């Protein structure tokens, strides 16, 4: 989660510096890390982390996700659709 948090901050820096392609790639990695880590540990299942996932997902064209990434996001949404 620490790695995902740091990468998330890095995307904000990249966007401010107009490095859109780099920011996009980091967002994909960050989203994938979040959807894999959050379900693993109860301590990560916080409103703040769910909001980060929602924000990242809304900023990414889901058509550009790989099958593996899309599957991970779908599993995450299925697990936590009620939260």
Query: Could you read off the pLDDT of 40-61 as tens digits, one per residue?
Result: 888 888 888 888 888 888 888 7
Q: What is the pLDDT of residue 83?
A: 52
* Alpha carbons 78 and 83: distance in angstroms, whole number: 10
Looking at residue 44, what is its pLDDT?
Answer: 83
**pLDDT for res 7:** 87
- Answering whether pTM is above 0.85, one says no
Range of the domain at 32: 2-80
Q: What is the DSSP letter of 83?
A: -
Predicted local distance difference test score (pLDDT) of residue 82: 61
- What pLDDT is recorded for position 58? 87
Distance CA(13)–CA(43), nearest Å, equals 27
Q: Which parts of the chain have pLDDT scores under 70?
A: 82-83
**Total domain count for the chain?**
1
Q: 24 near 63, Cβ under 8 Å?
A: no
């Amino acid at each position: 989660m620490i790695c995902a948090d740091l990468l998330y901050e890095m995307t904000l820096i990249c966007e401010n510096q107009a490095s859109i392609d780099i920011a996009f790639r980091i967002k994909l990695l960050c989203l994938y890390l979040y959807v894999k880590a959050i379900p693993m540990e109860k301590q990560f299942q916080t409103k703040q982390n769910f909001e980060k996932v929602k924000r990242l997902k809304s900023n990414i064209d889901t058509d550009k996700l790989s099958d593996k990434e899309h599957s991970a996001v779908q599993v995450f949404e299925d697990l936590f659709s009620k939260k």
